[in-house]
């Protein structure tokens, strides 16, 4: 049961079609954090992973931020706790978006890329992908947004 709860921590709704993801990258002025996150789309999900061999949701944030010289905690909960909380309307590319997908108040995190989209490592058997904050699933599970820069 503990394993099931831990794996549910990065569960998600279906990813958008690859063509929509490719089109999303074009024409958007992204900062270096969001650009690096977008470049990792397609990397497999790996529980506990924080390298391009595989990521879980908080590992993707940890890796992407560290490659940009920004220190963040390793876990989703700690990333949420330490971030400077901002209203959704103030999101900028590279900010973090947090969700409750399980029992814990905050159990999933993604990197905002602009136009209500974010990159995340969804769950076992899936790959790093784009998702939309406007998607019904993510809208219902949205907890808040945070900034580290």
Domains of the chain from N-terminus onward: 2-147 (3.90.1720.10)
Q: Is 10 a catalytic residue?
A: no
Q: How confident is the model at residue 9 (pLDDT cuts 50, 70, 90)?
A: low
Which residues, including other chains, have CB under 8 Å from residue 3's CB and lie 6 or more apart? none
Q: Does residue 31 or residue 23 have the better pLDDT?
A: 31
Strand order in the sheet with 142-147: 84-86, 142-147, 96-99, 108-114, 117-120, 129-132
- pTM for the predicted model, two decimal places: 0.83
Catalytic residue from among 10, 24, 108, 141: 108
User: How far is residue 24's CA from residue 1's CA, in Å, rounded to a whole number?
Assistant: 38
pLDDT digits (tens, 9 = 90+) for 124-147: 999 999 999 999 999 999 999 999
Q: Does residue 1 or residue 89 have the better pLDDT?
A: 89
Q: Does residue 137 or residue 17 have the better pLDDT?
A: 137
Catalytic residue from among 3, 10, 24, 57: 57
Q: What percent of the chain has pLDDT over 90?
A: 77
If one counts every other C-beta atom within 10 angstroms of the C-beta of residue 24, the result is: 19
Q: Is 77 a catalytic residue?
A: no
Q: Is 3 a catalytic residue?
A: no
Q: What percent of the chain has pLDDT over 70?
A: 81
pLDDT of residue 95: 98
Tell whether the model's pLDDT for residue 68 goes beyond 80: yes
pLDDT of residue 30: 76
Catalytic residue from among 10, 85, 115, 120: 120
pLDDT digits (tens, 9 = 90+) for 91-111: 999 999 999 998 889 999 999
Mean pLDDT of the chain: 87
pLDDT of residue 87: 98
Tell whether the model's pLDDT for residue 12 goes beyond 60: no
Q: How confident is the model at residue 2 (pLDDT cuts 50, 70, 90)?
A: very low
């Amino acid at each position: 049961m503990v394993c099931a709860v831990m794996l549910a921590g990065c569960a998600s709704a279906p990813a958008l079609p690859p063509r929509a993801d490719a089109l999303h990258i074009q024409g958007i002025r992204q900062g270096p954090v969001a650009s690096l996150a977008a470049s990792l789309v397609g990397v497999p999900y790996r529980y506990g992973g924080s390298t391009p061999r595989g990521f879980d949701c908080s590992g993707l944030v940890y890796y992407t931020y560290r490659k940009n010289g920004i220190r963040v905690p390793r876990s989703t909960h700690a990333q949420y706790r330490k971030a400077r909380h901002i209203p959704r309307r103030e999101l900028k590319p590279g900010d973090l978006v947090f969700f409750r997908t399980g029992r814990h108040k905050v159990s999933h995190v993604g990197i905002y890329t602009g136009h209500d989209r974010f990159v995340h490592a969804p769950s076992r058997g899936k790959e790093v992908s784009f998702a939309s904050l406007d998607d019904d699933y993510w809208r219902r599970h949205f907890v808040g947004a945070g900034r580290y820069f």
